[in-house]
Structure 1
């Protein structure tokens, strides 16, 4: 890099360094004032040495020696100090991104990729025929689904205080000099609040807490941002293809698993399902009622000055009970009548699900009352019809400017969120379904030993039961606790649909789905719970919730298309799909496939599965919708969403995309309006481009490239399996060299760390598997095996290396795989990992396995550089490179202190303070890495 380029880069990052220096100084002052000079001096000495280690001026042992044997009462504030240094550095980076974006826009530069503005330019240049656009977007949906996998370790109090500091820092940037001192005092006040607030919970997060955490993002950003984006996209596409009626339904419709995902989480019950749905509905109803109150205040238009349509007159006539009230203000009377009806709708819907609910909406506080209680709206469309009548009357009277304000926002909101706010998916494991169905069939006398049946006989029995309206159970049936709970959950889902509409529970997902009977068992439970209607002589079966197979392991992904094809050959199942407009959703599991076969093999297994499913959809005439179970970290499918969408095979998106949003990624994306807007835009931009443009870029080279990836994936899986599944003692090494046992104690979620009470890798959930390797700075799930595969295939041949370099330039899938690998490897540090390896008691085991990890790490870095031509891992991601330079020196003491405390704990010091110190280091490292699980 030239001197001029370096100077320009330094100038661009100077404001960021100044912000970090200012916030670090405020935190340092707070520590000195409230912890005393001993703690402050140690923090400063450790901080200085950590930066010297990062610059390779001193050995890593310089920090380790300072922390060895430190008293736990001093260690705890030191850990908290570096955790908050990291948190404040993250905050400064977020502000810097906004600053850079504003400068980019002010300079009049072309819009950046992943923005809708850039996507519209690409669509304009491609001149896609309108008929083709209408066909591909006829069932369009982009749905981010918030899930209860909370590796987000910040407490809400910490989160809220951080948000206030962010806003104050932004005000400080814009404020004149005379106001800066006042703002800086307030920033110091908020930093003090942070310092005086406990970072970790003393008790495990409950599922009810997770529901509340998930819903807070609607009040923060999503209620405002999502309808605005939907309206903008519809207008932009409509102006380009006005002859087509594009996006009749809102494109962006959010979902949630929180309160509906029972797979491995016994705390999800029928009551929890009802609570999750009723509280979500309360958020939607509350927002609509508040908007209606405001509209009544602003639309006090006088009948002496405006004319109204007959439809508006009719609404006004059934408004206020007293005809003399607001007699000449028809809009106010009409809106009051709408509010009366909506208040009663909300009261009845929420009461039907949770009679004791007192939720935040407090319907009575909106003052809408009627002697008759009002007639509830049967559906959201009925409410929309009334709002549309108000809109049409304003426009007919020449007042479109008023219609385009809050009323338009309310209409878009109702259209987007309905009465349910978000679609609540149900999920359970196929093994549980089999156990419950076995019990039901035995109790009803249908078959005494269902598991003994071969697959064809299972399918025959299940389809026979699905054809009949006869229930298997009587009201007096006595069931096991498990069967009663599972049926109770399905019945609760049916109650949610009855109260809030079919969009309230859009999917029933089957984890570890491997056969046709797995799909039909779920269908039978849905029928028995009242959600699936088997139909009769004049109608076929129907179910508001789509039955969604989740293919998770590499073998299940490979067999996914054949499993689904076999199901579609069963008339009863195909009729269910037909009742949903021939739409079939399939979920793809990133986490377990990675844990099963390693990074490269899992990514290619997912791509191959999508290719097979796209072909199956074409052959069977179904509309395929893929649901991507992505986690925050690369080891669980993470990485930039826009790039991930463009890396899908041709035909895999077709206007429809669902993906999970998990952990600390949720707060990073959706806690602030600007970031929420950008991230949701990027999902839509990627979906539109992948649907309407040729982004794969392989052309006639597709099949040879696929064959090459088949070979690379097989080699990568073999290398990964040799370590993880075949090396004697590997599980013991993992348990001792990472804090996996302690991850289970971190109060970050209601879900247990393992599906079963075992210590095997296969039964461990992906979050603790990935998070443990991240804490130890190995990041193994995000790269191991890839280097061996690539190096073996190249085998020193320049032409083979050139072939891979060409694919890296042309093929978004391969480029994204290598880019994400580079991101995760840049966050690894094998010198620190070696300190964790010292915790392994068996010296020979330690040396043997760590040497394998070291060799593969070096091999992967070298082959990545050879293929990409980059001189360092983050050459294509300068913002992350800058982030690592700013934040990672603060990780040094957190990692060193974690190793020290793990050593003490495992030597027998199980005091509460030592345990708390370990959890604090885990919290700080998760905050610093920003995609811990």
Structure 2
């Protein structure tokens, strides 16, 4: 489909539909919301015309009240603003539903990144067998996190799903009723969700979206590449990971009990899905020698859920189905074989765990706990020992400690959790929980501390059926990654551990904290370079390395055009699997409905295979191109470090953004900063509220800051042609710049033009604005584009529509922030207004991925 046709189609089936259904929505009779729909366009117009002229939010909102209402009482004005916020939140949901319903019509089966496209490319290059061999040992793993970037209550999720279906069917009567329900249903949790609540929210998606989306994609892969083999490939191409209930890093509410409960819920959820699926299979396979074994299996799954838990294994379910399959082929000519194979594919993928529950904790916590154990159990001061003695204790000493012997609750709970992981593996299968991730990793001790934890909790070496995964996320951690991994590979006991793990080492790399720490260009190039280095050092040690990327939704957190990012990684980076985290609005935007989930899983899978099998000269970086990237990243880093060192950096975020309000919302269970002290320090900032606050300001600083200065430096030296050549010859650099352009497209500095005149913050604001203009102009110059996102018509149209919908919401938020700065006697009320406006703005940013 040509870009022009795509834009026209988007206008017809998304924008026009939204206008029609929004007009219906605007006339619905909600309590205390009468005529609000008619007022919102006026508030939009005041904002649209007022902000570019430098009007303050207070001037804009006051002008709105004076021109279009008769309300002069401040309390009544605040009440109306709250109603408008509620209204716009629902407009966002309506637009999402319409866009989701149109998804299948916007993307074809043969376009780039689809299985069909991959198959045709492989045929052209005579590489079909290579692709098949890769598929036999390859997987994409999507890991769901509960990081607080979006959190609809479950009852709202159900309405959204029903509304999406009604829009797809063009059922005006159903849409009308669902919009009425939406208008009367609270969007906000009265209390913060617990980690268990967060887990159940994601499990909703597992059952209602991923069970079918992943299963159908597995069937499609088999039919496209392995149809002649006559049997399904055993390898689970798509795998799901799960952090809610297992991610303890910075979340004191994730306890051993929560981990156990979530593991149990995951197991029950997949059994329920199998039970339901078997009903459908039994409706078709009503044949002799088949119907009875299917009934027996159906009954066994029921008993496993409600009667004799722990009696049924994944192997037993699979073997039963394979025996039935043999009978179906031999006695019944394979009629409805695809129906049975659909269930077999799912059992191979989901086992008894549905999604693998990852355990994660910060390296500093392990360090403290290990010192406590060593002092208590061995009567030694760990810090007084030599490095060799420390390694010996961590790798060779065996204990079976009792958690009750320790006073610190976190220590007790950590021990309790490590001990119970054996039991979770027994019930959910080894795939159910098999990774322990160590955030903020910088040295070998961060990995060995976890190995020691298992040994101190009674595990024999051969019982540690876990991948111990260092997460390198700071610039220091990335710089030291090669040395850290080489030292680990040299340790005999760790080498033996890896041998038991099939000589495979998973290494996680964190984009979010990397970008926060070193800026956009430096973080991305540093991670790319680190992957190359770790690939080389792992290959030299005969270790199969798997990279796990901690990627968020927006480009500033490593998101953006994810499939293009993986397709752009050349042969110098190991590509044994694609693993990445997704959360919040990225779940709902890219994986929130079956068509989107299936499409994006497919795009990721084919991207990884293409980068390995299909020849792409643009995926290779030459020495001169690397030199350009080195220089650009260093200049960009210095510009970003200068910004971080500015005395107004933290005060600006604290006083002019929504940063401190993230922790006050009931979006997520995890605290918004690492330490509980009242004074905010940069190191305490979590990446999500940090990036999110810049997004709410419509400044998106982490997505471009330093890019313009780096490009200007090359221009000043007369070397900009080198960067232009890099853009056109390197898929990696082009993707990097296009993602930055997306960040800038979603930037709207007029929202804060009024700060030009602010006595305290005007100079700092000007620094941000100047770098934005520089970055925008020079990225357009090196690309040759006339506008940002010039060739991404559908995505750009979506961004522009969403920005239009939320502009009144942003005006209200800025108004409340300005009122707070003026020490209003209604400060608490205005703070609630800031928090309420957070939700709609976050949810509307779903296309940031």
Is the structural similarity TM-score above 0.5?
A: yes
Q: How far apart in 1 are the matches of 2:651 and 2:56?
A: 26
Task: Give the corresponding residue for 1:533.
Answer: 460
Is 1:757 aligned to 2:714, yes or no? no
Q: State which of 695, 702, 718 in structure 1 corresponds to 2:622.
A: 702
> Does structure 2 retain, via aligned residues, the 8 Å contact 1:433–1:522?
yes
Residue 41 of structure 1 and its aligned partner are, at CA, apart by 4.9
Render the CA deviation track for 1:709-756: whole Å, top value 9, x for unaligned.
Answer: 1111111000000011x2123211221110111111111111110121
> Does structure 1 retain, via aligned residues, the 8 Å contact 2:284–2:336?
no
Task: Give the corresponding residue for 1:621.
Answer: 542
Q: Please give the residue correspondences for 1:596-607 in structure 2 after superposition, counting only pairs within 5 Å.
A: 596-607=517-528
Q: Please give the residue correspondences for 1:428-443 in structure 2 after superposition, counting only pairs within 5 Å.
A: 428-443=361-376
Q: State which of 32, 43, 46 in structure 1 corresponds to 2:43.
A: 46
Is 1:220 aligned to 2:208, yes or no? yes
Render the CA deviation track for 1:3-51: whole Å, top value 9, x for unaligned.
Answer: x9979955762343321211221121126885334x4553342234456
Give secondary structure in 1 for the equivalent of 2:158: helix
Q: How far apart in 2 are the matches of 1:741 and 1:349?
A: 49
Q: How far apart in 2 are the matches of 1:707 and 1:809?
A: 16
Q: How far apart in 2 are the matches of 1:812 and 1:50?
A: 39
Is 1:471 aligned to 2:399, yes or no? yes
Q: State which of 288, 291, 313 in structure 2 corresponds to 1:332.
A: 291
> Does structure 2 retain, via aligned residues, the 8 Å contact 1:200–1:919?
no
> Does structure 2 retain, via aligned residues, the 8 Å contact 1:150–1:664?
no
Is 1:449 aligned to 2:395, yes or no? no
Q: How far apart in 2 are the matches of 1:6 and 1:286?
A: 46
Q: How far apart in 1 are the matches of 2:624 and 2:426?
A: 52
Q: State which of 85, 101, 105 in structure 2 corresponds to 1:99.
A: 105
Residue 194 of structure 1 and its aligned partner are, at CA, apart by 1.4
Task: Give the corresponding residue for 1:793.
Answer: 714
Residue 348 of structure 1 and its aligned partner are, at CA, apart by 7.1
Residue 410 of structure 1 and its aligned partner are, at CA, apart by 1.9
Q: State which of 740, 761, 771 in structure 1 corresponds to 2:659.
A: 740
Give secondary structure in 2 for the equivalent of 1:823: helix
> Does structure 1 retain, via aligned residues, the 8 Å contact 2:211–2:346?
yes
Task: Give the corresponding residue for 2:220.
Answer: 232
Is 1:811 aligned to 2:730, yes or no? yes
Q: How far apart in 2 are the matches of 1:494 and 1:343?
A: 24
Task: Give the corresponding residue for 1:358.
Answer: none
Q: State which of 94, 113, 117 in structure 2 corresponds to 1:88.
A: 94
> Does structure 2 retain, via aligned residues, the 8 Å contact 1:626–1:652?
no
> Does structure 1 retain, via aligned residues, the 8 Å contact 2:819–2:827?
no
Residue 254 of structure 1 and its aligned partner are, at CA, apart by 0.8
Larger CA deviation: 27-36 vs 614-623: 27-36
Q: How far apart in 1 are the matches of 2:744 and 2:836?
A: 24
The two structures, once aligned, show a CA RMSD in angstroms of 2.7
Q: How far apart in 2 are the matches of 1:223 and 1:761?
A: 41
> Does structure 2 retain, via aligned residues, the 8 Å contact 1:505–1:544?
no
Q: State which of 553, 570, 575 in structure 1 corresponds to 2:474.
A: 553
Q: How far apart in 2 are the matches of 1:827 and 1:519?
A: 39
Task: Give the corresponding residue for 2:71.
Answer: none
Give secondary structure in 2 for the equivalent of 1:510: strand
Larger CA deviation: 282-291 vs 635-644: 282-291
Task: Give the corresponding residue for 2:631.
Answer: 711
> Does structure 2 retain, via aligned residues, the 8 Å contact 1:263–1:429?
yes
TM-score (norm 1): 0.85
Give secondary structure in 2 for the equivalent of 1:204: coil
Residue 346 of structure 1 and its aligned partner are, at CA, apart by 4.1
Relative distance call for 1:66 and 1:32 in structure 2 (3 A) is farther
> Does structure 2 retain, via aligned residues, the 8 Å contact 1:926–1:932?
no
Relative distance call for 1:608 and 1:542 in structure 2 (3 A) is farther
Render the CA deviation track for 1:504-557: whole Å, top value 9, x for unaligned.
Answer: 112111111111111111001122335x432xxxxxx45221001100001211
Larger CA deviation: 121-130 vs 811-820: 121-130
Relative distance call for 1:653 and 1:228 in structure 2 (3 A) is farther
Residue 796 of structure 1 and its aligned partner are, at CA, apart by 5.2
> Does structure 2 retain, via aligned residues, the 8 Å contact 1:632–1:932?
yes
Relative distance call for 1:239 and 1:791 in structure 2 (3 A) is farther
Task: Give the corresponding residue for 1:361.
Answer: none
Task: Give the corresponding residue for 1:859.
Answer: 774
Give secondary structure in 1 for the equivalent of 2:236: coil
Residue 226 of structure 1 and its aligned partner are, at CA, apart by 1.2
Larger CA deviation: 585-594 vs 880-889: 880-889
Q: State which of 835, 840, 844 in structure 2 corresponds to 1:919.
A: 835
Task: Give the corresponding residue for 1:208.
Answer: 196
Relative distance call for 1:753 and 1:604 in structure 2 (3 A) is same
Q: State which of 411, 420, 424 in structure 1 corresponds to 2:353.
A: 420
Relative distance call for 1:477 and 1:90 in structure 2 (3 A) is closer
Relative distance call for 1:652 and 1:134 in structure 2 (3 A) is farther
Task: Give the corresponding residue for 1:490.
Answer: 418
Is 1:77 aligned to 2:77, yes or no? no
Q: How far apart in 2 are the matches of 1:388 and 1:161?
A: 38
> Does structure 1 retain, via aligned residues, the 8 Å contact 2:101–2:165?
no
Count of aligned positions: 835
Q: State which of 486, 510, 518 in structure 1 corresponds to 2:446.
A: 518
Larger CA deviation: 705-714 vs 289-298: 289-298
Task: Give the corresponding residue for 1:123.
Answer: 122
Render the CA deviation track for 1:98-134: whole Å, top value 9, x for unaligned.
Answer: 3333xx56xxxxx21121111222222222374x557
Give secondary structure in 1 for the equivalent of 2:28: helix
Relative distance call for 1:248 and 1:696 in structure 2 (3 A) is farther
TM-score (norm 2): 0.93
Task: Give the corresponding residue for 1:180.
Answer: none
Q: How far apart in 1 are the matches of 2:327 and 2:4?
A: 61
Give secondary structure in 2 for the equivalent of 1:71: helix
Q: How far apart in 2 are the matches of 1:455 and 1:545?
A: 25
> Does structure 2 retain, via aligned residues, the 8 Å contact 1:237–1:246?
no
Q: How far apart in 1 are the matches of 2:806 and 2:457?
A: 51
Give secondary structure in 2 for the equivalent of 1:762: helix
Give secondary structure in 2 for the equivalent of 1:756: coil
Q: How far apart in 2 are the matches of 1:137 and 1:6?
A: 36
Q: State which of 857, 874, 883 in structure 1 corresponds to 2:798.
A: 883
Task: Give the corresponding residue for 1:832.
Answer: 751
Give secondary structure in 2 for the equivalent of 1:749: coil
Task: Give the corresponding residue for 1:283.
Answer: 269
Residue 135 of structure 1 and its aligned partner are, at CA, apart by 6.3
Residue 331 of structure 1 and its aligned partner are, at CA, apart by 2.6
Give secondary structure in 1 for the equivalent of 2:618: coil
Task: Give the corresponding residue for 2:427.
Answer: 499
> Does structure 2 retain, via aligned residues, the 8 Å contact 1:300–1:331?
yes
Q: How far apart in 2 are the matches of 1:40 and 1:421?
A: 43
Relative distance call for 1:31 and 1:47 in structure 2 (3 A) is farther
Is 1:928 aligned to 2:844, yes or no? yes
Residue 613 of structure 1 and its aligned partner are, at CA, apart by 0.8
Relative distance call for 1:135 and 1:223 in structure 2 (3 A) is closer
Q: How far apart in 1 are the matches of 2:291 and 2:3?
A: 62
Residue 97 of structure 1 and its aligned partner are, at CA, apart by 3.7
Render the CA deviation track for 1:778-800: whole Å, top value 9, x for unaligned.
Answer: 10111111111111123251xx2
Task: Give the corresponding residue for 2:317.
Answer: 383
Render the CA deviation track for 1:410-447: whole Å, top value 9, x for unaligned.
Answer: 222211111111111111111111111111111212x5
Render the CA deviation track for 1:143-195: whole Å, top value 9, x for unaligned.
Answer: 101011131143333332232222222211xxxxxxxxxx3233222112111
What stretches of structure 1 of length at least 5 have no aligned partner?
Answer: 106-110, 173-182, 303-329, 353-375, 535-540
> Does structure 2 retain, via aligned residues, the 8 Å contact 1:225–1:676?
yes
Is 1:259 aligned to 2:245, yes or no? yes
Task: Give the corresponding residue for 1:157.
Answer: 155
> Does structure 2 retain, via aligned residues, the 8 Å contact 1:776–1:833?
yes
Q: Please give the residue correspondences for 1:554-633 in structure 2 after superposition, counting only pairs within 5 Å.
A: 554-633=475-554
Larger CA deviation: 581-590 vs 788-797: 788-797
> Does structure 1 retain, via aligned residues, the 8 Å contact 2:780–2:787?
yes
Give secondary structure in 1 for the equivalent of 2:468: strand
> Does structure 1 retain, via aligned residues, the 8 Å contact 2:535–2:573?
yes
What stretches of structure 2 of length at least 5 have no aligned partner?
Answer: 66-73
Give secondary structure in 1 for the equivalent of 2:290: helix
Q: How far apart in 2 are the matches of 1:786 and 1:151?
A: 26
